[in-house]
Amino acid sequence: DADVTQTPRNRITKTGKRIMLECSQTKGHDRMYWYRQDPGLGLRLIYYSFDVKDINKGEISDGYSVSRQAQAKFSLSLESAIPNQTALYFCATSDPRGTGGTDTQYFGPGTRLTVL
């Protein structure tokens, strides 16, 4: 089984709809992240969470919200989807405690979201 899973893998929705993307991990990591990737571009951080009680905005948090329901679960919501939120969304996890202070991130397979 994959260590980091994302659901759904693909989603097509309409402008104004509320959408939730879910991420689950079995790695036991405290840190979880949501990234957005547009075609031909790199990764941009939306939100991140260092533990269940911690939520932080990334560089492009406007129009998004998150919920850290448990150590293993981190959800991303688009309250009112708009077409320029059409992108590939990745969840990632990390845990620097066991790696000498480094922050290697492990990624899920991604969710392809299309907003019409």
Partner 1 sequence: GESVGLHLPTLSVQEGDNSIINCAYSNSASDYFIWYKQESGKGPQFIIDIRSNMDKRQGQRVTVLLNKTVKHLSLQIAATQPGDSAVYFCAENTSMDSNYQLIWGAGTKLIIKP
Given 90, 93, 113, 115, the residue binding partner 1 (CB under 8 A): 90
Number of residues that bind partner 1 (CB under 8 A): 24
Q: Are 93 and 29 in contact (CB under 8 A)?
A: yes
| Single-letter code of the amino acid located at 38 | D
102 binds partner 1 (CB under 8 A): yes
CB of residue 16 to partner 1, shortest distance in Å: 26
105 binds partner 1 (CB under 8 A): yes
DSSP states of 45-92:
EEEEEEETTEEEE-TT-TT-EEEEEETTEEEEEESS--GGG-EEEEEE
Residues interacting with partner 1, by CB under 8 A?
A: 4, 40-45, 48, 50, 59, 90, 92, 94, 96, 101-110
